[in-house]
Structure 1
Amino acid sequence: MVREGVLQPAAAGEFIARNAHHVKIHETGLDKLCEEMLKSITDKLEIPDTGADIIHPNKDHEKAADWVFVADALNFCFWSYSGAQKWTVDGHSGYYALEAALARAIKNGVDITNPEFYSKITEDQLRNIMKGDNEATIPLFDERISVLHEVGAILLEKYNGTFVTCLKEANKSAVKLLEIIVDNFPCFRDEAVFEGQKVALYKRAQILVADLWNFFGGTGWGEFTDIDKITMFADYRVPQVLVYFGALSYSDELMDKLRKDVLLPSGSPEEVEIRGCSIHAVELLKKKLEDKLKGQDAEVPNSSLIDYYLWCYRRKYADDMESIPFHKTLGIYY
C-alpha cells in the first residue's frame, strides 16, 4: 500500500494495542476462543449457521461483482439504541436487512447495480428501496445517498461504469484492490490519528475484497493470490464476541459509557482502541490456530474467515451476548 505515513491495518492494530489505555487483549481469552473455534474445524473452518436465507444474484451473473460493490458501499451503521425498534426488511435486521432490500429492489426491476442510476438516485427512490417492515428507517439515510452518488460518479468517470474495471486493474491481488478502493473512493478511506500516528482500519474496503473472494468462491472475480494479507473487519459486533470470550476487556470508565449508550465519536481514542485491538486480537488468534493445526490436514483460516466466524457466532448466540454492551458510533466506516 502506498498511503504514505499511514500504518496499514495489521501494523495499525499492533500499534494501537501497544499504546491502548482503555482496552486490553488477554492471552487466556484468546486461548479460550481458539479452543472454541477448533471444534468447528475439520478440514476447514465451518461458519456458524445464522439461519438467514437471502437471495443473492448468481455468481455467474454479469452484474454480480457490481452487486457486491453496491452492497458493501452501503454496509455501515445498522445498530439501534438499547430497546429501540430495529430497522428490518422481510424479518431480517442489520446487514441482512440491507441484502433483503437490495434483492427485493432487483426483483422489482430497480437497476440498483447500475451507477448511471444510483449516482443520481433521489431520496424517494432510496426510501422506497429501503422501506422496512415497521416505522423504523435505515440509519444515516442522507449519508447513504451521498455514498451512492459519490461511488457511482467515480465509477462512471474513471472505471467505465463498472467495478469490474477495478478488479481487472488489481490483477488478482487483494492488496492492490484495497489500494485502488481507498485511493479512489473517499467514503472507504477509514483512517484515524492515534497517539500522533495515522492509522488505517479499512473495515468496508477490506470486507469488500473478502466478500468478493467469498461470494465467487475464490475463483473468477473473487480470485486473489494474497487474500491472507487482509485483516478482520473492525466493526461494533465482533469486539462484542471478543469481550464475551475474555479476549478483550474494557476499562471500567469505558464499560460504563457503553452500558449507558454513550456515543463514541468516530476517530476518538476509545473508539479507535476498540477497533484496533480487535484487529490485533484476531491476528494473534490466527497465529494460535496456526500453531494448533500444525501437522494436521486442515486449512488454517485467514483473518477474514475468522471474522465471518465471529460475526456469525454473535448472530447465532445473540441472546447470550446481550449482557455485553457494544460501542455505538455514528459514521459511514462500519
Structure 2
Amino acid sequence: MAEDTSGDYDVMELSKAVELICKQAKDVHINDISINTLAEQVICNAISYSKEFYLHNNCFVRPLTYVTDTVIKADWLFVLHTLNFSLWCPKGTEQWDCGAEGFPGLCNAMRRAIYEKKPIWDPNYYTKITRNELEYILRSKNSKTTIPLLDERLKILHDVGEILLKKYQGTFMECIKLSEYDANKLLKLLFDEFESYRDEVIYNGKKVRFLCKARSLVADIWGIPENKFNLDTRNMISTTFIDYRIPLLLFRFRILSYSDTLLKRFENNEPLEFGSREEIEIRGCSLFVMQKICNEVHNRINQRYKADERILKIKSLDIPVMVDNCFLRMMFYDNISFQQSPFHYIKTLHY
C-alpha cells in the first residue's frame, strides 16, 4: 500500500477543493453567464445522439464492441487508462497521431493491437514487452512522430503488470472484486497500489486528490454493460481530464478566461509543472465549471421532461457522463481546430 508521505496535511473533499481553488485563483477565472447556454447545448446534443448513449453508455467514444470477454474488457480499460497521460506535444509541433490525436488516438492504437493479435491487456505479455514492441504498438500513422514519454510508459506498464501478477491473480478484475464492486473502494485501491494513479497535489496546505485517471477508469468500468459494478451514480463527477484539452473548449465558450501573464506563457510554449499553482487553477476551475454545467443540465431536465417528449429520451442517463460525452463529441467529431487557441502544455504521468 502507498506510504502516506504527506501525513501532516488534511485531504480536502474534491468538490469543496475545486470551489476553494476557484475563489482563490489568480490566473484563471470563470464567467457564469455562458454556462446556461452551454447546458442547453449539452441537452440538445444528448437528444440528438441518445441512441449512441444508450448503446455504449459512457464508452461510446471508445466502444468495446470488438472485445467480447468482460475480464478482457476490464483489463483492456486498465491498460488504456494507465497509458493515458501526456499525449500532446507543445503547440506548433507535429502531434502524435494514430488516426486521431490525443486520447482517441490512444484508443485507436489499443484497438489496433487487438486486431494484430497483441494481447496488450494481459500483464503476462506487457510486463515483458520491449521498448521496440511498445513503440510499434503505439506507432503513429506517419514515421515522423513517436508517442511522448515512451520510456516512462514502458516502465509504468512493467510496474503495474508486476503488481497485478503478484497480488491480483494477473487481472484487474480481481482489483474490482476485492473492492467489492464499490467505486470509492476501487479509487482508493488504485491510489494505494499504482503510483501513476496517485494524482495528488498540495493546495493551501491541504491535499487535493484529483484522481482524474482513476475516476475515468472507474467510470468506464461502470460503463461495461454486462458488469455488476455497484456504482452509486449520484456521487459521480465529471472525468473532464480524460483529455486535457477540454479546458480549451471552456475557453472557446468564454466560460474560462486566463490572465495576460498565463496567456503569454501559453504563447511561449512554457510547460506547466504538475502541482504548480497555475496547473491546479486550470484543473480546479475546469472541474468546478463542469459541476455547475451538470447541475444546470439536471435542473433543466427536471423542469421540462413532463412538457417535452424529447427530454424523456435522456432523463435516465447519468448527467456527468452525458456532459462528458457531449464535450468529447465536440472535441473529436466537430472538427474544432485548436491551433489558434491558448493551449497549455504539461508533462505528467497522471493525465
Asked if these proteins are the same fold (TM beyond 0.5), I'd say yes
Identity of aligned residues (%): 32
Q: 1:14 pairs with 19, 34, 40, which one?
A: 19
> Per-residue CA shift, 1:183-233, capped at 9, x if unaligned?
21111011111122211111110010111223x13x415x33313423223
User: Given residue 69 of structure 2, which amino acid in structure 1 is its aligned partner?
Assistant: D
Q: Which amino acid aligns with 1:310?
A: F
Pick aligned residue for 1:148 from 157, 161, 164 = 157
Residue 190 of structure 1 corresponds to 199
Deviates more, 1:113-122 or 1:182-191: 113-122
Q: Partner letter of residue 128 of structure 1?
A: Y
Superposed, 1:53-132 pairs within 5 Å as 57-89=66-98, 91-132=99-140
Tell which deviates more after alignment, 150-159 or 99-108: 99-108
Name the amino acid aligned to 1:260.
Answer: N
Structure 1 residue aligned with 2:348? 331
Kept in 2, the 8 Å contact 1:24–1:249? The answer is: yes
Residue matched to 1:302: 319
- 8 Å Cα contact 2:84/2:213 also seen in 1: yes
Residues 6-15 or 246-255, more deviating: 6-15
Residue in 2 aligned with 1:245?
253
Residues 272 and 345, structure 2, Cα contact 8 Å, conserved in 1: yes
Q: Structure 2 residue aligned with 1:282, among 265, 290, 296?
A: 290
**Counterpart-to-counterpart distance in 2, 1:161 and 1:84:** 39
Q: 1:144 offset after TM fit, Å?
A: 0.3
2 CA distance for matches of 1:207 and 1:283? 15
Letter in 2 for 1:231: I
The residue aligned with 2:37 is 32
Contact 1:65 1:212 in 2 (8 A): yes
2: distance between equivalents of 1:206 and 1:22?
26
1:83-134 Cα shifts (integer Å, max 9, x gaps) = 3222222x23222222222222222222211112212322122112112222
> 1:47: Cα distance to partner?
7.2
CA displacement 1:139-193 (0-9 Å, x = unmatched): 0111101210111111112111100011112223222211111121111011111
Deviates more, 1:266-275 or 1:123-132: 123-132
The two structures have a TM-score, normalised by structure 1, of 0.89
Instruction: Select between 285-294 and 169-178 the one with higher mean Cα deviation.
Output: 169-178
TM-score of the two chains, using structure 2 as the length reference: 0.85
Residue 226 (structure 1) aligned to one of 210, 229, 232 = 232
- Report the alpha carbon displacement of residue 71 of structure 1 after superposing the two structures with TM: 0.7
AA in 2 matched with 1:261: N
Name which of 268, 291, 300 aligns with 1:260: 268
Q: How many residues align?
A: 327
Higher mean C-alpha deviation, range 307-316 or range 240-249: 307-316
Deviates more, 1:27-36 or 1:265-274: 27-36
Q: Which runs of 5+ in 1 are unaligned?
A: none
Cα RMSD over matched residues?
A: 2.6
Letter in 2 for 1:96: P
Question: 1:87–1:93: 8 Å Cα contact kept in structure 2?
Answer: yes
User: How far is 1:234 from its partner?
Assistant: 4.5
Partner residue in 1 for 2:309: none
Matched letter for residue 302 of structure 1: I
Give 1:6 shift: 1.9
Partners of 2:288 and 2:49 in 1: CA distance? 22
Question: How far 1:10 moved relative to its partner?
Answer: 2.3
Query: Structure 2 stretches of 5 or more lacking a match?
Result: 54-59, 306-311
Supply the distance in 1 between the matched residues of 2:268 and 2:196 (Cα, whole angstroms). 29
